[in-house]
A and B are shown apart, each in its own frame.
Chain A
Amino acid sequence: MRRIVLARIAVLAGLLGGWELWASRRDPLLYVPPSRVWPALGRVLGLDAYPTLVTHFGVTALEVIVAYVLAVGLGLALGFALGLPRHVGEIYEPILSALYAIPSVVWYPSLMLFFGLGPASKIAFGVLLGFFPVVLAVLAGIRSVDPHLLTVARGFGAGPGTCFVKVVLPAITATLLAGLRAGLALCVVGVLVGEILGARRGLGYLINYAYGLFRTADYVALALLALVLVLVIDGAAAWAEGRARRWTEGAA
């Protein structure tokens, strides 16, 4: 374990060192070595370069939250609506999978036309990306429910509602949690991409702004900040998933 950690540190140090050597001999406008990212990160976090950073960060976080809530709500509703009646899910699942396979960025221009340059289009894009893993997880989960368990439950006098609560929900929990986590990651991606492609506020907007002004070091620092945001959110989701998994196995 300790060896692996040491090896990881070595790899990271090697990468940073190589990056430093390679970038420091090239055009400083385009190539930013770590030695310049570090102070830039200090400027960015110290709110010297972008005094409104916190506001932008807040806008992004809010957009992610709203987008995720909508994606989960729509995803669960559609997933159960299509998955619970027999065979309906089988009809729609290939269509949904095909839609999911289309690079979602192609939808973004039309979302901007519909929802404008403000947060609405970013939220819509986050919803669009985050919604698919949730729907598909619900459908896959329901398909994998052992029909025999439903028969057993019916034999014990369980009606459709009780079957849903006592059999379907616990049976799909693991699949559903994985889908919810993937959906959250994609929601963040959707919102950030939306902001980069065209916005007036948000972390993505700042990244695009710094990049547009050739403040390349700031741009890298802000990108790292976005990375941290994604890692923190995914880490929180992983933690919640683990907790929920243990809880459903333990209590049920």
Chain B
Amino acid sequence: MRPVTDAHIEVRAVAKQWLTRDHPVPALEAVSLDVAPQEFLTVLGPSGCGKSTLLSIIGGLASPDTGEVRIAGRAVTGPDPRQMAMVFQDPGLFPWRTALENVEFGLELQGVSASSRRERARALLEPVGLRGFENRYPRELSGGMKQRVAIARALALDAPILLMDEPFGALDEQTRLLMGEWLLGIWARTRKTVVFVTHSLQEAILLSQRIVVMTARPGRIKASFEVALATPRDLDAPAAATLRHALWDAIRDESRRALDGDR
């Protein structure tokens, strides 16, 4: 029933404007992109370049003005929890639910019975290192723990595609690195198609199989880099340093334009 076999994402000439109070702001301009099944793709771009907008459109939370997104050959018209699960920078845990109940949320919406969703949620919290925290409320958890609950909540859907919008952006550097390693472990086990949005070069190099760089607003795809580094990755290896320079060259002017544009 679940179309695991082809989690191929096609983004075709997607453009989007946001309407602000006085004038429309073009967020995306003719973005086209292909993500292969089981690929870990990172979208790298300066802040405000529309990468979050792109992810929302892929996830069906926003609709493009022109162009379309197809998943496994079918056009996306809205969120489809059987195909895609989303994680945001703000974990967005429901404060009135315990960690366990948060993880159960998606299963609850799908009508999974209380006992079996409880069992599945428990099984997901254990590998994310939250055993013993099942009955804590979000306010009792650290930032990293909250984000792990949010990721467990997304994984609970067992969807072939995972869309992640700067999921570790609000965490401190060390936590961020550990969470990255942890996410790679999950990806290696589950082999989901991951689209990961970030503005961190380091994070992109550590995690991805492929990195696309976006331009400043309005966002377009500027360049694409295959990451052929061995895992576990070492940021100090010469190949990683070369890639880092190439990425920085590609993104530097865009970051500058974003910075000037903000003023």
**Is A35's beta carbon under 8 Å from chain B?**
no
Q: When the two chains form their complex, are residues A157 and B96 in contact, meaning their CB atoms are under 8 A apart?
A: no
- Give the 10 A-B residue pairs with the shortest CB-CB distance, closest first: A152-B92, A157-B81, A155-B86, A170-B96, A156-B106, A252-B96, A148-B92, A155-B79, A252-B97, A156-B81
Interface residues of A in 136-163 (CB under 8 A from B): 146, 148-149, 151-158, 162
Q: Which residues of B contact A (CB under 8 A)?
A: 59, 61, 79-81, 85-86, 88, 90, 92, 94, 96-97, 101, 105-106, 108-110, 137, 157
Measured between alpha carbons, how far is A171 from B67 in the docked complex, in Å?
37
Interface residues of A in 34-57 (CB under 8 A from B): none
Q: When the two chains form their complex, are residues B109 and A158 in contact, meaning their CB atoms are under 8 A apart?
A: yes
**Is A249's beta carbon under 8 Å from chain B?**
yes
**Is A110's beta carbon under 8 Å from chain B?**
no
Q: For residue A156, which residue of chain B has the nearest CB?
A: B106
Measured between alpha carbons, how far is A236 from B241 in the docked complex, in Å?
69
Q: When the two chains form their complex, are residues A149 and B94 in contact, meaning their CB atoms are under 8 A apart?
A: yes
Q: When the two chains form their complex, are residues B61 and A252 in contact, meaning their CB atoms are under 8 A apart?
A: no
When distances are taken between beta carbons in the complex, the residues of chain B under 8 Å from A171 are 96
14 contacts between A and B (CB under 8 A): A148-B90, A148-B92, A149-B92, A151-B61, A156-B105, A156-B106, A157-B106, A166-B105, A166-B109, A171-B96, A173-B96, A252-B94, A252-B96, A252-B97
Given A155-B79, A155-B86, A157-B79, also A167-B106 (CB < 8 A): no
When distances are taken between beta carbons in the complex, the residues of chain A under 8 Å from B105 are 153, 156, 166
**Is A97's beta carbon under 8 Å from chain B?**
no
How far does the Cβ of A185 sit from chain B's closest Cβ, in whole Å? 26
Q: When the two chains form their complex, are residues A170 and B94 in contact, meaning their CB atoms are under 8 A apart?
A: yes
Measured between alpha carbons, how far is A146 from B109 in the docked complex, in Å?
20
Contact of B88 (CB < 8 Å), options: A148, A173, A249: A148
Given A151-B61, A162-B109, also A156-B97 (CB < 8 A): no
Residue-wise interface mask of A (155-184) relative to B, using a CB-CB cutoff of 8 A (1 in contact, 0 not): 111100010001100110100000000000
Q: How many A-B residue pairs have CB under 8 A?
A: 53
Q: For residue A149, which residue of chain B has the nearest CB?
A: B92
Q: When the two chains form their complex, are residues A154 and B92 in contact, meaning their CB atoms are under 8 A apart?
A: no
**Is A104's beta carbon under 8 Å from chain B?**
no
When distances are taken between beta carbons in the complex, the residues of chain B under 8 Å from A158 are 109
When distances are taken between beta carbons in the complex, the residues of chain A under 8 Å from B101 are 252
Q: For residue A169, which residue of chain B has the nearest CB?
A: B96
Interface of A is mostly: helix
When distances are taken between beta carbons in the complex, the residues of chain B under 8 Å from A162 are 109
Contact residue range for chain A? Answer: 20 to 34
**Is A248's beta carbon under 8 Å from chain B?**
yes
Q: Which residues of A contact B (CB under 8 A)?
A: 146, 148-149, 151-158, 162, 166-167, 170-171, 173, 248-249, 252
Q: When the two chains form their complex, are residues B96 and A154 in contact, meaning their CB atoms are under 8 A apart?
A: no
Measured between alpha carbons, how far is A10 from B109 in the docked complex, in Å?
58
When distances are taken between beta carbons in the complex, the residues of chain B under 8 Å from A155 are 59, 61, 79, 81, 85-86
Contact of A157 (CB < 8 Å), options: B80, B88, B94, B137: B80
Measured between alpha carbons, how far is A151 from B55 in the docked complex, in Å?
13
Which of B85, B86, B101 has the most chain A CB atoms closer than 10 A to its own CB? B86
Which of B81, B90, B92, B97 has the most chain A CB atoms closer than 10 A to its own CB? B92
Given contacts A156-B85, A170-B96, 4 further A-B contacts (CB under 8 A): A148-B88, A149-B92, A155-B85, A157-B109
Measured between alpha carbons, how far is A157 from B106 in the docked complex, in Å?
8
How far does the Cβ of A107 sit from chain B's closest Cβ, in whole Å? 38
How far does the Cβ of A174 sit from chain B's closest Cβ, in whole Å? 9
Measured between alpha carbons, how far is A170 from B157 in the docked complex, in Å?
22
Q: When the two chains form their complex, are residues A156 and B92 in contact, meaning their CB atoms are under 8 A apart?
A: no
Which of A149, A153, A155, A171 has the most chain B CB atoms closer than 10 A to its own CB? A155
Q: For residue B89, which residue of chain A has the nearest CB?
A: A148
How far does the Cβ of B79 sit from chain A's closest Cβ, in whole Å? 5
Which of B96, B97, B108, B137 has the most chain A CB atoms closer than 10 A to its own CB? B96
Measured between alpha carbons, how far is A173 from B97 in the docked complex, in Å?
13
Q: For residue A157, which residue of chain B has the nearest CB?
A: B81
When distances are taken between beta carbons in the complex, the residues of chain B under 8 Å from A153 are 105
Q: When the two chains form their complex, are residues B96 and A151 in contact, meaning their CB atoms are under 8 A apart?
A: no
Measured between alpha carbons, how far is A146 from B90 in the docked complex, in Å?
11
When distances are taken between beta carbons in the complex, the residues of chain B under 8 Å from A149 are 92, 94
When distances are taken between beta carbons in the complex, the residues of chain B under 8 Å from A151 are 61, 88, 92
How far does the Cβ of A228 sit from chain B's closest Cβ, in whole Å? 35
When distances are taken between beta carbons in the complex, the residues of chain A under 8 Å from B80 are 157
When distances are taken between beta carbons in the complex, the residues of chain B under 8 Å from A146 are 92
How far does the Cβ of B132 sit from chain A's closest Cβ, in whole Å? 19
Q: When the two chains form their complex, are residues B109 and A249 in contact, meaning their CB atoms are under 8 A apart?
A: no
Measured between alpha carbons, how far is A149 from B150 in the docked complex, in Å?
12
Which of A151, A152, A166, A248 has the most chain B CB atoms closer than 10 A to its own CB? A152
